[in-house]
Protein backbone atom coordinates (compact mmCIF):
# COMPACT_ATOMS: atom_id res chain seq x y z
CA UNK A 1 0.00 0.00 0.00
CA UNK A 2 1.30 3.43 -0.90
CA UNK A 3 0.04 6.95 -0.54
CA UNK A 4 0.87 10.55 0.12
CA UNK A 5 -0.26 14.13 0.21
CA UNK A 6 -1.69 16.19 -2.63
CA UNK A 7 1.62 17.81 -3.65
CA UNK A 8 3.67 14.60 -3.32
CA UNK A 9 6.21 15.98 -0.82
CA UNK A 10 5.13 13.46 1.84
CA UNK A 11 4.81 9.82 0.77
CA UNK A 12 4.40 6.54 2.63
CA UNK A 13 4.50 2.78 2.17
CA UNK A 14 2.61 0.36 4.38
CA UNK A 15 1.54 -3.30 4.58
CA UNK A 16 -2.06 -4.54 4.72
CA UNK A 17 -3.94 -2.47 7.30
CA UNK A 18 -5.43 -3.89 10.51
CA UNK A 19 -8.67 -1.96 10.34
CA UNK A 20 -10.51 0.50 8.16
CA UNK A 21 -13.09 2.57 9.97
CA UNK A 22 -15.33 5.54 9.54
CA UNK A 23 -14.73 8.06 12.32
CA UNK A 24 -17.46 10.62 12.88
CA UNK A 25 -15.73 12.40 15.78
CA UNK A 26 -15.65 16.17 15.71
CA UNK A 27 -11.84 16.30 15.78
CA UNK A 28 -11.45 14.13 12.66
CA UNK A 29 -14.14 16.15 10.91
CA UNK A 30 -12.39 19.40 11.83
CA UNK A 31 -9.00 18.12 10.75
CA UNK A 32 -10.19 16.91 7.37
CA UNK A 33 -12.99 19.37 6.68
CA UNK A 34 -15.09 16.39 5.59
CA UNK A 35 -18.48 15.15 6.86
CA UNK A 36 -16.78 11.95 8.01
CA UNK A 37 -13.17 10.75 8.12
CA UNK A 38 -12.22 7.26 6.99
CA UNK A 39 -9.10 5.91 8.64
CA UNK A 40 -6.77 3.09 7.62
CA UNK A 41 -5.14 1.71 10.76
CA UNK A 42 -1.61 0.54 11.52
CA UNK A 43 0.77 -0.02 14.39
CA UNK A 44 3.06 3.01 14.45
CA UNK A 45 6.24 1.48 13.04
CA UNK A 46 4.53 -0.33 10.18
CA UNK A 47 4.40 2.79 8.01
CA UNK A 48 7.57 3.86 6.22
CA UNK A 49 7.62 7.59 5.52
CA UNK A 50 9.39 8.98 2.46
CA UNK A 51 10.19 12.57 1.51
CA UNK A 52 9.31 15.56 3.69
CA UNK A 53 8.57 15.03 7.35
CA UNK A 54 4.91 15.56 8.12
CA UNK A 55 4.01 18.46 10.39
CA UNK A 56 2.27 17.49 13.64
CA UNK A 57 -0.57 19.27 15.41
CA UNK A 58 -1.56 18.07 18.90
CA UNK A 59 -5.37 17.98 18.91
CA UNK A 60 -5.21 16.85 22.54
CA UNK A 61 -2.21 16.20 24.79
CA UNK A 62 -1.68 12.64 23.49
CA UNK A 63 -3.24 12.75 20.02
CA UNK A 64 -1.14 13.87 17.07
CA UNK A 65 -2.54 14.90 13.72
CA UNK A 66 -0.11 14.93 10.84
CA UNK A 67 -0.30 17.00 7.68
CA UNK A 68 1.88 18.16 4.82
CA UNK A 69 3.52 21.49 5.60
CA UNK A 70 3.63 22.38 1.90
CA UNK A 71 0.11 21.61 0.66
CA UNK A 72 -1.78 21.17 3.94
CA UNK A 73 -3.20 17.73 3.14
CA UNK A 74 -4.35 16.02 6.37
CA UNK A 75 -2.52 12.70 6.59
CA UNK A 76 -2.69 10.99 9.98
CA UNK A 77 -4.26 10.39 13.36
CA UNK A 78 -1.60 9.18 15.81
CA UNK A 79 -2.17 8.07 19.36
CA UNK A 80 -1.93 5.39 22.00
CA UNK A 81 -4.76 2.87 22.33
CA UNK A 82 -4.00 0.38 25.08
CA UNK A 83 -6.73 -2.06 23.97
CA UNK A 84 -5.13 -2.29 20.52
CA UNK A 85 -1.62 -2.89 21.75
CA UNK A 86 0.01 0.50 21.86
CA UNK A 87 0.99 3.28 19.51
CA UNK A 88 -1.25 3.48 16.50
CA UNK A 89 -1.09 5.52 13.34
CA UNK A 90 -3.97 5.85 10.95
CA UNK A 91 -3.88 7.46 7.53
CA UNK A 92 -6.87 9.12 5.93
CA UNK A 93 -8.17 6.81 3.23
CA UNK A 94 -8.15 9.33 0.40
CA UNK A 95 -4.41 9.89 0.84
CA UNK A 96 -3.84 6.28 -0.28
CA UNK A 97 -3.09 5.62 -3.93
CA UNK A 98 -5.78 2.94 -4.26
CA UNK A 99 -8.68 3.55 -1.85
CA UNK A 100 -10.97 1.35 -3.99
CA UNK A 101 -9.56 -1.78 -2.35
CA UNK A 102 -9.77 -0.47 1.24
CA UNK A 103 -13.27 -1.19 2.49
CA UNK A 104 -14.42 0.12 5.88
CA UNK A 105 -15.90 -2.32 8.39
CA UNK A 106 -17.58 -0.16 11.05
CA UNK A 107 -18.39 3.33 12.28
CA UNK A 108 -16.96 4.85 15.46
CA UNK A 109 -18.05 7.97 17.36
CA UNK A 110 -21.37 7.80 15.58
CA UNK A 111 -22.84 9.96 18.37
CA UNK A 112 -20.72 12.90 17.13
CA UNK A 113 -21.80 12.61 13.51
CA UNK A 114 -23.34 15.52 11.66
CA UNK A 115 -26.97 14.84 12.46
CA UNK A 116 -28.25 14.84 8.88
CA UNK A 117 -25.51 12.51 7.70
CA UNK A 118 -25.47 8.71 7.60
CA UNK A 119 -24.31 6.08 5.13
CA UNK A 120 -26.47 3.43 3.46
CA UNK A 121 -24.48 0.40 4.65
CA UNK A 122 -25.30 -2.28 7.22
CA UNK A 123 -22.07 -1.87 9.17
CA UNK A 124 -22.00 -1.67 12.97
CA UNK A 125 -22.28 1.78 14.48
CA UNK A 126 -20.71 2.49 17.87
CA UNK A 127 -21.53 5.42 20.15
CA UNK A 128 -17.79 6.00 20.70
CA UNK A 129 -14.80 3.66 20.51
CA UNK A 130 -15.30 0.11 19.24
CA UNK A 131 -12.43 -1.55 21.10
CA UNK A 132 -13.30 -0.77 24.72
CA UNK A 133 -15.83 -3.58 25.05
CA UNK A 134 -18.69 -1.52 23.65
CA UNK A 135 -21.40 -3.13 21.59
CA UNK A 136 -22.70 -1.51 18.41
CA UNK A 137 -26.06 0.20 18.91
CA UNK A 138 -27.14 -0.10 15.28
CA UNK A 139 -26.32 -2.06 12.14
CA UNK A 140 -27.33 0.31 9.40
CA UNK A 141 -28.44 3.90 9.07
CA UNK A 142 -30.39 5.19 12.03
CA UNK A 143 -32.04 7.93 10.00
CA UNK A 144 -34.19 5.54 7.95
CA UNK A 145 -34.57 7.84 5.02
CA UNK A 146 -35.18 10.98 7.03
CA UNK A 147 -32.77 13.89 7.24
CA UNK A 148 -33.98 14.88 10.75
Sites of contact with Zn ion (CB under 5 A):
5, 7, 9, 23, 25, 28, 68, 70-71
For residue 77, the minimal CB distance to Zn ion (Å) is: 6
For residue 59, the minimal CB distance to Zn ion (Å) is: 9
For residue 6, the minimal CB distance to Zn ion (Å) is: 5
- Closer to Zn ion by Cβ: residue 9 or 43: 9
- Closer to Zn ion by Cβ: residue 51 or 145: 51
Sign of CA dihedral 135, 40, 67, 15: positive
Q: How far apart, in whole angstroms, are the C-alpha atoms of residue 4 and residue 68?
A: 9
* Helices and strands, number each (H, E), in the chain: 1, 12
Q: Are strands 74-81 and 86-92 parallel, antiparallel or unpaired?
A: antiparallel
> What secondary structure letter does DSSP report for 80?
E
- Closer to Zn ion by Cβ: residue 39 or 144: 39
Cα→Cα distances 21→14, 45, 72, 104, Å: 17, 20, 23, 5
For residue 9, the minimal CB distance to Zn ion (Å) is: 4
- Closer to Zn ion by Cβ: residue 28 or 130: 28
Amino acid sequence: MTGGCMCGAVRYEAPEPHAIVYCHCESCRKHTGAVVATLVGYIKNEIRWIGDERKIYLSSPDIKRGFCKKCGTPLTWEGHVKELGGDLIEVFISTTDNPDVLIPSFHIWHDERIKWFDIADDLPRYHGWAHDGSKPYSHGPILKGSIR
